[in-house]
Structure 1
């Protein structure tokens, strides 16, 4: 929790220094370079330092035993396809080279930082105390709650609550992808790809229906419908690889 709060403090403080209102972020290359890129650069340095100090890189990036049920990956795949639909609907002529680079940096930054914070370091910590169902639920709720901080950048409170709820649904999909593939890296890629598509959906002509944007709540609901299958049978506890009974037996043998 301390690591997560520390990351949020960095994002909020850097955004406040940049002074870019939330509804203007992503509308231009300048808004991204001034606000989001510095946030993710500082946030990434912080998360890399903390993960390294804790020695948690392997459990943060990899599950020891990925889900035996692979079919739930259809939901993350559908999410990726909807992002591609959003890209296909985008009027790319509205972007110059600087804007495209800014969007690429945005995708890399959000995918790396938010996934490492919420489904990396936080997941490892939660797995030391809770069963996997609690790990999924708490990490998902906290990921959604992270987005409430956007209200400090000018987002209306009711919109921040809605964004938090939608983010929690998306977080479930990213969790499913981690469990099925056994790697956080694919979740980072999908997360970055999805967030970029959310920004580009604003650059469509007036006659085009933004399919990806409208389908976002549905993706979250589908994730909730199938997440139980990747949780079932999960054994990712990180407190100790040795059962307590075995430890106690060993201690008894060691006594004189």
Structure 2
């Protein structure tokens, strides 16, 4: 059975967009299932006030489901023998312009760290939120930029197609946020933003040569955004300090950079072998 999954002729080695979609869908089933289970068994411990009203709320509503999801995707990659390839240096180099993606994603993170009203949260909430962010980065990046990108490259797609499809999968993952609220304008905007944020993460992975930096940047973006607005997929209410006002421009910067990047991403990783030569980026 291990040979079937791991060999060159194995199921996953053949790659393809629908296999990447299958991995994404399976991850979401696990994530949502764990969330329901945690809610049924531990929901009575949640206090009023939203996910950031207490450490317990953060742990139950956010950390546990995404933490299990991260463990599951890591286990999946281990079973099919892809841990090393996914964390290895990227098989195709980046280009100097790609470093702009790092700056575009980094400056809102830095400004939010400065501008967050830490005193507005109960003790421990900020720390647990940052830990949660790390697991978000691990889980979502390994699903899309890890397994997803690997499967798309194995199918022989050009890197532009790899970037677009993996980012589309990343955006579609966030459709789960519509559960209970329906497809609202906020969700529509979220899908657009997450698609282009996915493009930025792909570019960061390319230019740094490692998925680790995409995980780190993603893992810092989400919790600082949550803490700066006081919620998930919500706009900040009331007056904000200058740091958070400037940080908010990062959303538009991500979208604008992502649009430009779509015209600049080039290259292809030959699927014949992990160490095969690559076409110029």
- Give the alignment's TM-score, normalised by structure 1: 0.83
Q: Is it true that 1:142 corresponds to 2:177 in the alignment?
A: no
Residue 24 of structure 2 corresponds to which residue in structure 1? Answer: 4
What is the CA-CA distance between 1:113 and the residue it aligns to?
0.5
Distance 1:216 1:13 in 2: 30
Give the C-alpha shift of residue 148 in structure 1.
0.4
Between the aligned partners of 1:177 and 1:37, the Cα distance in structure 2 is: 25
Give the distance between the partners of 1:15 and 1:42, measured in 2 at CA: 10
Q: TM-score, normalised to structure 2's length?
A: 0.76
Paired residues of 1:87 and 1:197 also in contact (CA < 8 A):
yes
How far the C-alpha of 1:55 sits from its partner, in A, is: 1.2
Cα distance in 1 for residues equivalent to 2:270 and 2:84: 13
Q: Distance in 1 between matches of 2:93 and 2:128?
A: 34
Whether the 8 Å contact between 2:126 and 2:227 is mirrored in structure 1 is: no
Match of 1:66, SS state, is: coil
Contact 1:72-1:227 at 8 Å conserved across structures: no
Contact 1:14/1:35 (8 A) holds in 2:
no
Q: Deviations over 1:205-234 (max 9, x none)?
A: 7243533234313312212213543x32x3
The structural deviation recorded for 1:241 is 5.5
1:90 positional shift: 0.9
Structure number with the higher helix fraction is 1
Query: Equivalent of 2:113, from 87, 97, 102?
Result: 87
Deviation of 1:80 (Å): 0.8
Q: Which runs of 5+ in 1 are unaligned?
A: 244-256
Counterparts in 2 of 1:202-217, with a 5 A limit? 202-203=229-230, 206-208=239-241, 210-211=244-245, 212-217=247-252
**CA drift at 1:32:** 1.5
> Is 1:70 matched up with 2:84?
no
| Alignment equivalent of 1:56, drawn from 54, 63, 82 | 82
Q: How many residues align?
A: 238
TM-superposed CA distance for 1:160, in Å, is: 2.2
1:224 is the counterpart of 2:259: yes
Matched, 1:198 2:199: no
Alpha-carbon RMSD across the aligned residues, in angstroms, is 2.4
User: For residues 18 and 242 of structure 1, do their structure 2 counterparts lie closer, same or farther at Cα, with a shift above 3 Å needed?
Assistant: closer
Corresponding residue of 1:182: 209
SS at the partner of 1:49? helix
Q: Quote how far apart the aligned CAs of 1:8 are.
A: 0.6
Deviation at 1:84, TM superposition (A): 1.0
User: Relative to 1, partners in 2 of residues 1:181 and 1:12: Cα closer, same or farther, differing over 3 Å?
Assistant: same
Provide the C-alpha distance between the structure 2 equivalents of 1:183 and 1:162, rounded to a whole number of angstroms: 29
5+ residue gaps, structure 2: 1-20, 231-235, 277-281
